[in-house]
Chain A
Amino acid sequence: MIKGYKISKTQKDLLVNKEFNVDSYFNPIQDIDGSWFIFKEEVEQCTNQEFEWLKDLTLSDFTITPSLISC
């Protein structure tokens, strides 16, 4: 099972287009149930003091939404 950090939509809106480290941007995505998630490197490597609250998040199960794109 993939683990990720579950965040609210309000928290997601705070992170979009923001750097968590130099030249690395957050990319919140939704799981199969529509909940928003970010992942390990985004939390552990976050040096942006604006997002200190990330350190309080706990890991949750993440189920990826199956892609409809053939490849």
Chain B
Amino acid sequence: MILATHGILKPLTTTSYDPDAQAFFTAAGITDTTQKNAWNQAVLSLKSNSLWSKFIALYPFIGGTATTHKYNAKDPQDLDASFRIVFSGSITHDANGVTGNGTNGYGNTKIIPSVNFSLNNSSGFIYSRTNVAGGYVDFGVIKSGAPQDRFQINIRNATNLFNTACNSITLTGNANSNSQGLFGISRTSSIGYSQSNNTTQTSVTDVSSVLNANEMAILAVNSGGTIANYSIRNYSFACFGSGLTDAECDTLYTIIQTYQTTLGRQV
């Protein structure tokens, strides 16, 4: 006390992070203060808005390497059962997250819809920093034979459609000329789901079919064990979980946009 009063000892200034955020930092080896503060605030906001519990997997793609990007921040263990991503092929990992090469780079999330999703209560979102049209699946899983039950999105396909299916057979497209930002699909009923394009949600009438039994790919699609439609987009966040309301999709956008802004990579 006397030493501190006289300026000989500095007072302790350790920053305390949310325990779930800290567990992710420890597992992924994150030491950068800006990265820590950005994700910590995202975790706090997700929790205060009752969104944290909605997700089974949150991939911050916080910047760095395959190791910092592979962990599911909801359960940051190096296990398939924790939905830790296995990256294969040529992928660029840098401060902006993960970028596919369009030929063989993808990630296996180990999420199996038939095991880990509910048919009429599921969602997936991804934050793209790249504006490009083409036959790129951002995340997806398809049954190889007919009927092709799907959970997949292409933010901007070759004909400028935000093209999606959410535990259903039919792809539904809505016009989209910019593939930058947070995009997703969210189903909370058997008769339809919502396409989320940043702050705009569009209702899609599409009856759910069955849950797919293959592992969810990211940066590509898993079609019955065959990986295809590799993406060239740069991604800075992704998450999967229960269905969100339109208002919750809006809130998620705000939280993730703030996270990206703190890291200086918002679009």
Contact = CB atoms under 8 A, between A and B. Distances in A.
B106 interface: yes
B89 A69 contact: no
Interface in A1-54: 2, 4, 21-29, 37-42
B171 interface: yes
A71 B104 contact: no
Given A21-B66, A23-B66, A70 B103 contact: no
B228 A69 contact: yes
B91 A24 contact: yes
Interface in B51-71: 65-67, 70
Contact of B104 (A39, A67, A68, A69): A39
Nearest to B68: A23
Interface residues of A, number: 24
Interface in B130-188: 135-137, 140, 142, 152, 154, 157, 163, 171
Q: Give the interface residue-count category, chain B.
A: 20 to 34
A24 B106 contact: no
Contacts of A39: 89-90, 101, 103-105
B137 A71 contact: yes
Interface of B: 65-67, 70, 86-92, 101-106, 135-137, 140, 142, 152, 154, 157, 163, 171, 221, 223, 227-229
10 contacts: A2-B103, A22-B66, A23-B65, A25-B88, A26-B89, A27-B104, A27-B106, A39-B105, A69-B221, A71-B163
Interface of A: 2, 4, 21-29, 37-42, 62, 64, 67-71
Given A2-B102, A29-B89, A40-B101, 18 more contacts: A21-B66, A24-B91, A25-B88, A26-B88, A26-B89, A27-B88, A27-B90, A27-B105, A38-B90, A39-B90, A39-B101, A41-B101, A67-B228, A69-B142, A69-B223, A71-B140, A71-B154, A71-B229
